[in-house]
Amino acid sequence: MSTGDVAAAMSNLHADWDLVSGKLHRELKFANFIDAFAFMTSVAIYAEKADHHPEWSNVYNRVVIDLVTHDADGITELDLDLATKIDQLTKDL
Ligand code: H2B
């Protein structure tokens, strides 16, 4: 996907998504560790079904996410789909 295509597609995502080092980047803060880990578990189940996995880290109630398709060395529809799923799971944050 070109940078323009990615930018256009990002208009359909939550405003907190950024483009950082060629990856879709979002930082989330939950009420506590359990909520953060429950979110990560939901994403993990989706990611495994989609065979498309996030780069992420968790510290207590924070989760930092970077989405990129390693096989394509760039952002693809798979990353946009995963970002959309993440937005759905966090719409009540
Ligand atoms: N996840 C991500 N983010 N990018 C990939 O290119 C990728 C993946 N490839 N999950 C998948 C697994 C691939 O390695 C397997 C073999 O389908």
Predicted TM-score (pTM) of this structure? 0.97
Edge-to-edge strand list for the sheet holding 62-67: 18-20, 23-29, 62-67, 55-59
Nearest CA to ligand 1 atom 10: 52
Query: Which portions of the chain are predicted below pLDDT 70?
Result: none
pLDDT digits (tens, 9 = 90+) for 11-26: 999 999 999 999 999 9
Domain enclosing residue 38, as ranges: 3-89
At 15, which CATH number? Answer: 3.30.1360.20
Residue with tokens 């980047």, as numbered in its chain: 25
| Torsion sign over Cα 60, 44, 4, 2 | positive
Q: What pLDDT does residue 29 have?
A: 98
Q: What pLDDT does residue 8 have?
A: 96
CB 82 within 8 A of CB 67: yes
Q: What pLDDT does residue 40 have?
A: 99
Domain total for the chain?
A: 1
Beta bridge pairs of residue 63: 28, 58
Atom of ligand 1 nearest to the CA of 70: 6
Atom of ligand 1 nearest to the CA of 71: 6
